[in-house]
Structure 1
């Protein structure tokens, strides 16, 4: 992506948080009445400093990880597996709540302009999530132009709002308007100030997105990513500080039925076109900010599944090259949380801050260890930046966890703990299965002879000279009846064994196929040429006892390449009866079945229309 496209695509989450971050801070301070609201400017200044510190820290992350360095990757590489899982837990929580909070804030912007929709915010929000689900399953998320217009419209609307508001304030000598006297329900305390600071810090969500997506930029990728991150931080600070300044000058306080941003737009623009434009742009960018989670959440699950810490179904790409299972899980979880909290932003904010700053803290702490180990040029300066970001992020995380624990932060902490427990148990199961099926010296007897198909060519796939569709021995041009065999002698079999790796389960399937005394073809689906060459070397080391065909599938799809290959072979040799023999891991407990691909069932459904194709499995019990 060009920088002008990457900025709105990757910054929608961060920039849109201006719509709810300042309001979340004010909603806490207003509990102490007018005296509490006087702390809004000092707290906002502290948050701006935090934004700059974390932004500079992530510039160092981009330099150190030019191929993309999200919290999970950085924490795992530098701190270990458990801190990496903790960072992933924070990210997963963050992305689910990003959808829920963004939809809730978007609905708040809509109902501020159209109050009659207030009773229907839950069903409307669920419908919006369903639309995002359908769009992402169809690959709509790839269109950068869809992100660019609403994000730039929102930035323009808030910049105009701040400029006009400050211009009007300048005409009055920047004297603040008298603040309405809200009824104080709490006294001023350190705990209240810290709660407000933690709530306002949610305006920093999404800062990590650019460091995750460095390879998506045009060359030189890391340099363009750092430049885009600098633009994003500059815009975020400007929009956040400008909004707080207008709140202070106009004496605005949070209301139950209208957002702070809507109040500012009403006071500055009236109820005309600019007000409608501001609210429409706010709603649109918040909905698209929800969509940014659909880019990152499935990818985190993919990385976890690649490391055997999440079910393997999250490795699978759909027909539109999207991680369909991760997208569906995100939608279901976000819709459930959004519904449970009644579509309100306020109750969701305490949950939000915990996951966001847990991931920030571990990422920056990982970078401190990275620079300490590397010690290259300017490593001390980089370490200092990342250490500052880690300390400040940790302060916000601890503050949010303690001050908002009873308000809902306990739920986020519980989600993180459950996530670590579940992923650890998944890793343990995969390690157990891996040890059970691993090859050991002298554990596998090689075939006593090489078994080859009757026809020559590349693994029994070359067609004979007769016309496709004719039976053996039939005159040219005669079409064979697809399933007319009535005696064993009329069946011409070929066994195909799809094999992912050389392990005991695969060896058992190959041995079973060879024991039938029929032609056998081993078939390997490989994601890259390097992986294909590696598997070929393993195969040759085993002895190359059976013909092997390797099919490249760069998008890690399994079923589609298998089906395409078998269909092609069927059309080439309609006289053959193809038996697809799959190794199958059979586990003892039902809960473990979800961790293993049900490849046989999917293949049966896909190959059912083809005649003379049999799908069977060879179970391997662990």
Structure 2
């Protein structure tokens, strides 16, 4: 299948292997046998018009080997950051400090905007790399469990708020429904243990459903996950604001402005590249677990003094009868306490070896804690007779009842608020990853593959923030209003993931021990059935209460993702190498004569060090013969767009250097093999980058090359995809503009594009 659209034409900042993502090589798939044969035929035609390849190499006025970046295995994380400083090519400090969005334009407004951007987001991290991080279980547990464990702050309350509509009779169903939710927690937890075993490199709902059920179920799972992450931000922030309202009463009067401010702070922190792992981010979760154990422990101790006799429960007026519809609605609301269980199965690769075993152990610990905390809160509610109240959260009422209003109460509320905000930040890590996977599979714009100049998935982070702000403001920042939207996406993803695992184990017959396969099949089947029941219950019982928003969002996303894929398939077919469809240099495109380098003296230099500008390298040329050229052609894939750019460069009869920035050693070797199949007609330099990005090391290479020969006029020739329809241009990145802005402080660098028009 030809799906190489946008590879060479746009030069995406493909990132990979971040928190369980596929390897970098998966982003640049190999040419198939048919295209390799066409590549050989193209190479033979090139040989007739361009002459001896060795002569093109001798004509280069520069040495293309500028050294390399440190290997990814040599990069170690700093104490509290996920980014580490690395030297540029040649070991020289970077002369370019500005990258996309940081360029200083003329005027005070532009300078003020730049200063504000740097104050909020920090300095650009173009000369930094993301360090691979391996987490121990005691650090991974709080970091990856924040979303799941924090849900006990609003899950039990959501359950009771529905049952309260039926008065005392409805509250009598609290324990049976809570018992069903506990069974569901255990079943889904055991199911994900099997998922981790089957997918030791990370098995999120999208990957599992796509691999076992097909494209459409995979997209539905992705839509459910993304809806879940948007609501995680909205619900967690709303619950966090509600948790601190009793401690700071003025907050209760303006929850929306404060919640919006918190979401914007999360946006700024994640755009800066703040990582979530480490001891610092483990503290809120451990503090919350300690606070809950304190609350439950003291509450049970006090109840023991009264023989565990429940206190009198207020008699709220009943507005509804106890019906199956009401019970199912309460089950769906209370099941939101399971949000976030999938996080560990998504992040298996970040555990210390053996990864899958440590991930399974951590998952078991998380589910055990979740069950204990959930049962503890429900038990306290039964013993104290506390019921939900509009002006104070259920957890706050329990803490007041058990601990009074002293420091212990304040500790519980602050710990609850901090873990809820950390849970919101978890979505900022996972939402861009799902978008990354969708973009990798051509179901989302390729821009979501790109790391920003702070080495974060900036575009995905911004999309999540905008969606969360719209939902948060539209529902007034009230947790009770947001809960009806929540369960739909969560349990759709659960259902499809576990159903996919059932298919996986069914196909594994003969490859897996039969007893283990049957046990896994039973566990995943049970998880799929139970999750499916809750999903249907959430859609049916909460549709008019707000679940319709989630349902229509998922449907709209499915339609949009398929249309995006259809466009990329058409472009991929247009770019596919095929006979009689490629461009060649003109018949007169013979190798240029070698240029002599300027003499080295006290004022100039030709090494990789910084050269002092003199009359030779100043922009003072007045005649064509005074200009010395070098054409650099960045090529990602040898498709029709890439071949056209190479043909254009060779036709200028000036020295040409092809440049390939590779995200992995394996992919670099694969590209070299394709280049040899083509015939190695032009000089090629391959740079393996540890940045998890493409454009940043490309800028670094061009800068160091310019320092080597500042007297040269360097023309960077980029292939560019040009769609006919304006709306499709959003699906293709504009690398040329980014390079122009980043390199415009250097003299004699020209950036041009060779358009490739598609439908």
Q: Tell me the TM-score normalised to structure 2 length.
A: 0.79
Q: Deviations over 1:328-357 (max 9, x none)?
A: 111111111111111000111111100000
Residue 559 (structure 2) pairs with residue 427 (structure 1):
no
CA separation in 2, counterparts of 1:478 and 1:591? 47
The match for 2:50 is: none
CA separation in 1, counterparts of 2:672 and 2:454? 30
The match for 2:675 is: 539
Which SS does the other structure have where 2:753 is aligned?
Answer: strand
Residue 551 of structure 2, aligned match among 404, 410, 413: 413
Q: Note the C-alpha offset of 1:452.
A: 5.0
Residue 643 of structure 2, aligned match among 497, 507, 529: 507
The match for 1:78 is: 212
Contact 1:317–1:323 (CA<8 Å) still a contact in 2? yes
Which SS does the other structure have where 2:275 is aligned?
Answer: helix
Higher RCO by CA contacts (8 Å cutoff, separation 6 or greater): 2
CA separation in 2, counterparts of 1:469 and 1:341? 67
Which SS does the other structure have where 1:245 is aligned?
Answer: helix
Residue 371 of structure 1, aligned match among 482, 490, 505: 505
CA separation in 1, counterparts of 2:276 and 2:155? 28
The match for 1:386 is: 524
Closer, same or farther: CA 126–452 of 1 in aligned 2, 3 Å = farther
Bigger CA drift: 73-82 or 496-505?
A: 496-505
Residues 146-165 of structure 1 aligned to structure 2 (within 5 Å): 146-165=280-299
The match for 1:247 is: 381
Residue 241 (structure 2) pairs with residue 111 (structure 1):
no
Residue 418 (structure 2) pairs with residue 284 (structure 1):
yes
* Count, aligned residues: 614
Closer, same or farther: CA 449–527 of 1 in aligned 2, 3 Å = farther
Q: Note the C-alpha offset of 1:478.
A: 6.0
Contact 2:604–2:614 (CA<8 Å) still a contact in 1? yes
List structure 1 runs of 4+ shifted beyond 4 angstroms.
445-456, 467-472, 476-479
Closer, same or farther: CA 467–126 of 1 in aligned 2, 3 Å = farther
Q: Note the C-alpha offset of 1:93.
A: 0.4
Residue 189 (structure 2) pairs with residue 55 (structure 1):
yes
Closer, same or farther: CA 546–450 of 1 in aligned 2, 3 Å = farther
Which SS does the other structure have where 2:254 is aligned?
Answer: helix
CA separation in 1, counterparts of 2:613 and 2:379? 85
Q: Note the C-alpha offset of 1:481.
A: 4.4
Q: Deviations over 1:156-192 (max 9, x none)?
A: 1111111111111111121111110111111111100
Residue 619 of structure 2, aligned match among 483, 498, 506: 483
Contact 2:145–2:341 (CA<8 Å) still a contact in 1? yes
Bigger CA drift: 190-199 or 173-182?
A: 173-182
Closer, same or farther: CA 88–468 of 1 in aligned 2, 3 Å = farther
CA separation in 2, counterparts of 1:116 and 1:267? 22
CA separation in 1, counterparts of 2:187 and 2:407? 38
Structure 2 gaps, min length 5: 1-134, 607-611
Residue 400 of structure 2, aligned match among 237, 247, 266: 266
CA separation in 2, counterparts of 1:453 and 1:323? 43
CA separation in 2, counterparts of 1:154 and 1:190? 35
Residues 3-42 of structure 1 aligned to structure 2 (within 5 Å): 3-42=137-176
The match for 1:313 is: 447
Contact 2:592–2:653 (CA<8 Å) still a contact in 1? no
Q: Note the C-alpha offset of 1:449.
A: 8.2
Q: Deviations over 1:14-45 (max 9, x none)?
A: 00000000000011000111110111111000
Q: Deviations over 1:527-556 (max 9, x none)?
A: 111111111111111221111111212444
CA separation in 1, counterparts of 2:672 and 2:422? 45
Q: Tell me the TM-score normalised to structure 1 length.
A: 0.96
The match for 2:256 is: 122
Residue 360 (structure 2) pairs with residue 223 (structure 1):
no
Q: Note the C-alpha offset of 1:479.
A: 5.3
Contact 2:202–2:346 (CA<8 Å) still a contact in 1? yes
CA separation in 2, counterparts of 1:453 and 1:322? 43
**Which structure dedicates a bigger proportion of its chain to helix?**
1
Closer, same or farther: CA 609–478 of 1 in aligned 2, 3 Å = closer
Which SS does the other structure have where 1:9 is aligned?
Answer: helix
Residue 558 (structure 2) pairs with residue 558 (structure 1):
no
The match for 2:582 is: 444
Q: Note the C-alpha offset of 1:441.
A: 2.4
Residue 204 (structure 2) pairs with residue 66 (structure 1):
no
Contact 2:396–2:413 (CA<8 Å) still a contact in 1? yes
Contact 1:526–1:553 (CA<8 Å) still a contact in 2? yes
Q: Note the C-alpha offset of 1:512.
A: 1.4
Closer, same or farther: CA 515–199 of 1 in aligned 2, 3 Å = same
CA separation in 2, counterparts of 1:406 and 1:34? 25
Residue 715 (structure 2) pairs with residue 571 (structure 1):
no
Q: Deviations over 1:468-521 (max 9, x none)?
A: 96499xxx9965241010000100111111111111111111111111111111
Contact 1:314–1:326 (CA<8 Å) still a contact in 2? yes
Residue 442 (structure 2) pairs with residue 304 (structure 1):
no
Q: Note the C-alpha offset of 1:558.
A: 2.2
CA separation in 2, counterparts of 1:404 and 1:426? 31
CA separation in 1, counterparts of 2:664 and 2:704? 21
Closer, same or farther: CA 7–455 of 1 in aligned 2, 3 Å = farther
Q: Note the C-alpha offset of 1:364.
A: 0.4
The match for 2:536 is: 398
Which SS does the other structure have where 1:586 is aligned?
Answer: strand
Q: Deviations over 1:174-213 (max 9, x none)?
A: 1111110111111111100100000000000000000000
